[in-house]
Structure 1
Amino acid sequence: MKKIILLLAIALAFAGCEKDFVEEPVDNTPLKSGNKGNEKITGVDEYGYNWNAHFFKGSFYNAIVGDNLYAFAQWSHTTPYRGVDEEITPADPGDLMYDLWSIAWYLRDVNLLMHWNEALISKEGVYPASLDEWIGSDAWITFKYSGVDANGKSWSQFQKMVAANSDDELIEGVWYNSDGEEIGIFNDWPQLILVQCVNTGEPPFPFSTIPSYKNTERLGFGITKK
């Protein structure tokens, strides 16, 4: 997801802290493709995406390389990372998207679990023609990052983001609704609002730059409190 590019320049702890996080069913069945467009694609692909079930589980590197948003990049949908560095062919430094690939490679040992809804990305893995279509759509996405720090201690970070509404306003890094109520903070995407961040352990850089946060004015996933 485009968010991950800057999320790292800052680019998901868990059951006890995510009281309003609803897990979607996880389908780990092998990928089954239809006739290249007319039938749904179900199951998990080699990168860890199950577009039909709206979830991803795997290496941060694979989340970037297998993301359809970056299909134009030279390294898009190349060999997935399976724990063996030598299996990966380095991206061309001349590629305009090389920096993103480098960030993904640096964080290849970070585990990532993502869930999103149909308003964000379709069951066919298709993004809107313009990401501004997310605005006012009730789109949402969650990120659950985890790993082990240099001292061998586990860490995790959970994030929840919801689509901004057309009358929401971003002022000095804080999002407000039309009534002037704080509803979240900025986290790289101009169309999405970070409404929750839960840190456990000591997340390393760049995750350490995102503070723990929760705001209840924007409830659920993309639903505005009335």
Structure 2
Amino acid sequence: MKIKLSVILAILCLIPVLRPAYGATLDDGTITYSAGSYLGGQPIPIGYDPYGYNYQARRFSGSYFNAYANSANLPPWDGDDVSYLAANPGAVSHWAWNYREVRVDMKWNDAWLSNIDRDDDGKLDRHYGLPSYIGSGAWLTNHEFGTSDEDPWNYFVKIAAAPADATPIGGIWYTASGGEIGTQIWGEFAILQGVYNDKSAGEHGLAEISPEGPGLGKY
């Protein structure tokens, strides 16, 4: 048994470590942040970055403001308003600044934003192989937490790309057979489900749900 095992190990040592045939990975170090962003040109790391994005795991966990700060060429907000604004006075005019204390947890699938680069452009793929998100099967979940009048609130939403044969009418996406998918958002997407709990606003429970069903992966 020891002889057989040693032979197997010797053979394995001769096999080169190959890059996956389907594309470059974050481990390759060739996938970088977009030009114009604060980290522009730097390789995207495996694991969480300073803003709260974990592109390998396809998720985000952090400040609402930090979800947009990098693309706005701003460093991550660290919780200290005085020192942050002293170094970055323009941040106060960013639309997301007022929501910096809102915590956000997001998850998405490969079609929304992949963790690999199949077309060798040095960027993570979006709706790979398609000209737009329509019909891609992309989805995202967004869970927000904050306080209002010292009362905690939270909001959860499921969003999915509209199927290729769907039609938007009056701000609502409909299936080819006329079924209502959900409220149109960001043009190519529909809200499948929304849950809002806020004592100060008198909100509790389901705020919106797709009559066609809220399940992810359906479209």
Aligned mates of 1:220, 1:157 — CA distance in 2: 18
Give the 5 Å matches for 1:36-75. 36-37=30-31, 41-66=45-70, 70=71, 75=72
Report which of the two structures shows the higher radius of gyration computed on alpha carbons: 2
The match for 2:179 is 181
How high is the sequence identity, in percent, across the aligned residues? 31
2: CA distance between counterparts of 1:144 and 1:52?
A: 19
Tell me how far 1:218 sits from its aligned partner. 4.2
For the Cα contact (< 8 Å) 2:151–2:200, is it kept in 1? no
In the alignment, is residue 162 of structure 1 matched against residue 160 of structure 2? yes
Amino acid at match of 1:55: R
How far apart in 2 are the matches of 1:203 and 1:115? 28
User: Residue 126 of structure 2 is aligned with which of 125, 128, 147?
Assistant: 128
- Structure 2: state its 5+ residue gaps: 1-25, 33-42, 117-122
1:35 counterpart = 2:29: yes
1:115 aligns with 2:97: no
Counterpart CA distance in 2 for 1:203 and 1:184 is 27
Are 1:200 and 2:197 matched, yes or no?
Answer: yes
Once the two structures are superposed, residues 25-58 of structure 1 have per-residue CA deviations (whole angstroms, 9 ceiling, x without a partner) of: xxxxxxx965333998411000000001000000
Q: Residues 127 and 133 of structure 2 are in contact (CA less than 8 Å); yes or no, is this contact kept in structure 1?
A: no
Q: CA deviation at 1:219?
A: 4.7
What is the SS of the residue equivalent to 1:133?
coil
Query: Higher relative contact order at CA 8 Å, sep ≥6: structure 1 or structure 2?
Result: 1
Instruction: Give the match's secondary structure for 1:217.
Output: coil
Number of aligned residue pairs: give it. Answer: 171
C-alpha RMSD over aligned residues:
3.0
Q: 1:162 to 1:132 in 2, by over 3 A?
A: farther
Distance 1:196 1:215, change over 3 A: same
| Equivalent-residue separation in structure 2 for 1:167 and 1:62 (angstroms) | 36
Change (3 A) 1:178 1:61: same
1:190 aligns with 2:187: yes
Would you say the 8 A contact 1:157–1:203 is kept in 2? no
Q: TM-score, normalised by structure 2?
A: 0.68
